[in-house]
Structure 1
Amino acid sequence: MGVDKTAALCCPVCGAPTKRYGYELKERIWPHADCLFYPCYVHCKRPCVLCDKCGTVQVNAPFARKNSRFPLLFEGYAMLLLQDIPRARASRLLRCDEKSLAAILTYWVHDEVNRMDLSVVCSIAMDETFFRRGHKYVTVAIDAYKCQVFDVEPSRDKMAVKNVGEKLERNGGNTKRVNSATSDMSASYLSAVREVFPNAKQTIDKFHVKQVLLKALDAVCKDEQKEAGRKKELFLCRKLFMVPEGRMNNKQWTMVAELSKQYKKMGRAFRIVRSLDDFYASTSMVEAQERLDKLCSWMRRCRLKPMKDAVLTLRNHSKEILNYFHTRLTNAICEGINTMIQAAKRKATGFHTFEGYAAMIYLVAGKLKLATPVPF
């Protein structure tokens, strides 16, 4: 049954009341979800209206969004599947190509992201995550209190941080209200955060601080391996010194103690790395400052060049390192979310575009309440 000729319809452009002015020339067909394992389609010939302002305009179908090839219920069902299974498998179940599913996913995810309320964001964590080969990374910005991704930017430079600030302002937030921010030691991140979030206490993630000392320890091990008589033994045991103290069993502790006595330089460097854990166990800022000064003094006097180079990094970023005892922020949230992102990426066998990759990140870590119609 068609629309009555005298029925009042709204102009889809300006919303003014109009009357029907014929139908589109060809009947449109929308593929729907299968019914009892049989393909199902929706057939409709949409009416046109004659508007005094806009002229002849095509009316949108009430069961489908504008310019979409699928009904709303189909898109809602597709989003339910895409949250749990890879896109390739979902395309086989729904009998549609992956590009169409990617378009559905991107539309509904970004629709919710653009309406995200960021007015209460006051503490952020930023980290980079791998996108594709060729050193392609994206910057992920997280609300540290809600553990929620609120922005994904296609680079890891200063402009990415500025875009995060602009996104915060657009969605009701305030960059001056952000009182704490954590990131790695990237110079682009640190300088951009100072500029974009002027009132934020910057904290360098403690895991990245320890990584600086672990790299210096590894360099010491390599240098001593060249001088050692049993190079193979030292090569096989070198990674043992990288194991966190709390994760070592009794056998590993015994081996480390024996190697430390046998290889003096490596044992000295290992004790320096262990003292960093004591620094982060400090209970006050005064105690932390004293332990950091002692650690830096030890590293300068240890006669190990890699450790002397590492102490310059600690000194240059001592303020941001000590801010940890004010904010107690780490990038552990980012690392956990990064694990979720890479698992979803492997499950989907990669993403070819940044938009699709960003949509997937929002879907798995954005805690979104999608506006898609629920088919069940």
Structure 2
Amino acid sequence: MVQQELFSLALGLVPPWLVDDVTFKVEDKRLDLHINFPQGSRFACPVCGEECPVHDTREHTWRHMDFFQHEAYLHARVPRVKCPEHGVHQIPVPWAREGSHFTLLFEALIMTLVREMPVLTVARLVGETDTLLWRVIDHYVPEARTRVDMANVHAVGVDETSSRRGHDYITLFVDLEARRLLFATPGKDAATLERFATDLEAHAGSAQAVTDVSMDLSPAFQKGAKEHLPNAQVTFDRFHLMKLVNEAVDAVRKGEVHTQPDLKKTRWLWLKNDRNLKAKQKEKLQALLKDQNLKTAQAYQFRLTFQDIFTVKNRHQGATLLKAWMENAKDSGLPPIVKVAYTILNHWDGVLRWFESQINNGILEGFNSLIQSAKAKARGYRTHKNFINMAYLILGKLDLRLPT
């Protein structure tokens, strides 16, 4: 078998396409495969499929997967056909998509690698610019999203994540049942909920069908949910509520540290659960708790009690325990704890809803950790579009339908 026939078979070419020339340059570590077609070949019109004669050709080059350690390139005279009905059109080639500098198999390699490592690292690995790789990502991710089915979305989690330094955020919407990213959009205002509702409808979903939404206490998110997810009952995420209590405990500690030097550098003793503390940390915490007059110790007890309340799964029992906690908090004389009590009172329905829905943004916290880790490894993403595409790629469970 001559080498041209061998490479034609390896590339999966079918008539009239064939490899008619192979050039291998050892010094350049490069393999060039020239693809052609016999004179008189006819090709289907891209519009109607009618077999038409070749009008003219244009030379194109594509980067292909490496041949062992050598870069490989495909070259071809791509014909334009002249259809009697639709005029002159360039035909698509079977080994690459229109407008790409790479073959389909090379793009599949890129998309496989960028899921596991930063784009810039992949670019250096394959010897291409990251700009070209981002163009590949920006083709496959939006294309895969057109096939996403949101018809069965009923419970949604919403939270913002930092895109870049400063007040620059991306809001993430997650299907809490399927545990996948549904939608990501810049900002963290009420308009993000409107854009989500529009995207939901565009993917066979229904804003009317969303019955539950988990979120933090953001007034903007509450307003957006009320306007654009009219049938959804809001559950205020217990992790964010716990964060409020933790911040209150630390505020009490900071206010007391000036008169109690032993509280210096003890922040995490009060905020971590006991099982997450090291032996020495547990010993120090127990020693501090023996001081009955320590305000931070009192705040810490409020934290433990609050956390235990959210292990209850009965709405009536949960409401009774929360009311008792709030009354004690108001009488505590600890302003940060008092403030939390009034915050819960002002968001009572959404806080109490948790005991029925049992939904939370735990999955979003995990997603946020994954995307921030990817961002850190990549040393940031230059644009919102890049950040969002990577979020979909990592968290969206997309069917990319890559060629094999």
Calculate the TM-score normalised by the size of structure 1: 0.92
1:269 aligns with 2:299: yes
Q: Which residue of structure 1 lines up, in the alignment, with residue 343 of structure 2?
A: 313
Q: Secondary structure at the match of 2:116?
A: coil
Query: Once the 2 structures are TM-superposed, how far is the Cα of residue 358 of structure 1 from its aligned partner?
Result: 1.2
Q: Which residue of structure 1 lines up, in the alignment, with residue 266 of structure 2?
A: 237
1:117 aligns with 2:149: yes
Counterpart pick for 1:294 among 317, 324, 330: 324
Superposed counterparts of 1:126-205, under 5 Å: 126-205=158-237
Deviation per CA, 1:319-350, whole angstroms, max 9, x where unpaired? 11111111111111011111111122222222
Counterpart pick for 2:123 among 86, 91, 104: 91
Sequence identity of aligned pairs in percent?
A: 28
Call closer, same or farther: CA 1:248–1:2 in 2, change over 3 Å: closer
Deviation per CA, 1:248-290, whole angstroms, max 9, x where unpaired? 4665455334424254322221111111022112231110010
Counterpart pick for 1:19 among 39, 48, 52: 52
Q: Which residue of structure 2 lines up, in the alignment, with residue 333 of structure 1?
A: 363
Query: Once the 2 structures are TM-superposed, how far is the Cα of residue 169 of structure 1 from its aligned partner?
Result: 0.6
Letter in 2 for 1:321: V
Q: Distance in 2 between the 1:245 and 1:316 partners? A: 30
Q: Secondary structure at the match of 1:70?
A: coil
Q: Which residue of structure 2 lines up, in the alignment, with residue 280 of structure 1?
A: 310
Q: Secondary structure at the match of 1:139?
A: strand
Q: Distance in 1 between the 2:55 and 2:113 partners? A: 39
Counterpart pick for 1:33 among 45, 65, 79: 65
130-139 or 85-94: bigger deviation: 85-94
Letter in 1 for 2:37: G
Query: Once the 2 structures are TM-superposed, how far is the Cα of residue 171 of structure 1 from its aligned partner?
Result: 0.3
Letter in 1 for 2:66: D
Call closer, same or farther: CA 1:253–1:83 in 2, change over 3 Å: closer
Mapped contact 1:20–1:47 kept (Cα < 8 A): no
Mapped contact 1:224–1:263 kept (Cα < 8 A): no
Call closer, same or farther: CA 1:373–1:263 in 2, change over 3 Å: same
Counterpart pick for 1:211 among 243, 260, 263: 243
1:366 aligns with 2:399: no
Query: Once the 2 structures are TM-superposed, how far is the Cα of residue 2 of structure 1 from its aligned partner?
Result: 3.1
Give unmatched runs, 5+ long, in structure 1.
Answer: none
Counterpart pick for 1:323 among 334, 353, 358: 353
Q: Secondary structure at the match of 1:164?
A: helix
Structure with the bigger RCO (C-alpha within 8 Å, sep 6+) is 1
Call closer, same or farther: CA 1:183–1:3 in 2, change over 3 Å: farther
Q: Which residue of structure 2 lines up, in the alignment, with residue 7 of structure 1?
A: 42
Call closer, same or farther: CA 1:70–1:248 in 2, change over 3 Å: closer
Mapped contact 2:80–2:88 kept (Cα < 8 A): yes
Q: Secondary structure at the match of 1:128?
A: strand
Letter in 2 for 1:134: G
Q: Distance in 1 between the 2:330 and 2:79 partners? A: 81
Q: Distance in 1 between the 2:205 and 2:171 partners? A: 19
Mapped contact 2:40–2:53 kept (Cα < 8 A): yes
Letter in 1 for 2:268: K
Letter in 1 for 2:403: P
Calculate the TM-score normalised by the size of structure 2: 0.86
Call closer, same or farther: CA 1:69–1:283 in 2, change over 3 Å: closer
Deviation per CA, 1:187-241, whole angstroms, max 9, x where unpaired? 1112211221112121111111011111111221122223x1x43x222224311
Mapped contact 2:55–2:82 kept (Cα < 8 A): no
Q: Distance in 2 between the 1:218 and 1:170 partners? A: 45
Q: Distance in 2 between the 1:79 and 1:266 partners? A: 51
Letter in 2 for 1:77: L
1:256 aligns with 2:285: yes
Q: Which residue of structure 1 lines up, in the alignment, with residue 20 of structure 2?
A: none
Query: Once the 2 structures are TM-superposed, how far is the Cα of residue 177 of structure 1 from its aligned partner?
Result: 1.1
Letter in 2 for 1:354: H
Q: Secondary structure at the match of 2:266?
A: helix
Q: Which residue of structure 1 lines up, in the alignment, with residue 26 of structure 2?
A: none
Q: Distance in 2 between the 1:107 and 1:321 partners? A: 42
307-316 or 87-96: bigger deviation: 87-96
Mapped contact 1:21–1:56 kept (Cα < 8 A): no
Q: Secondary structure at the match of 2:71?
A: strand
Give unmatched runs, 5+ long, in structure 2.
Answer: 1-35
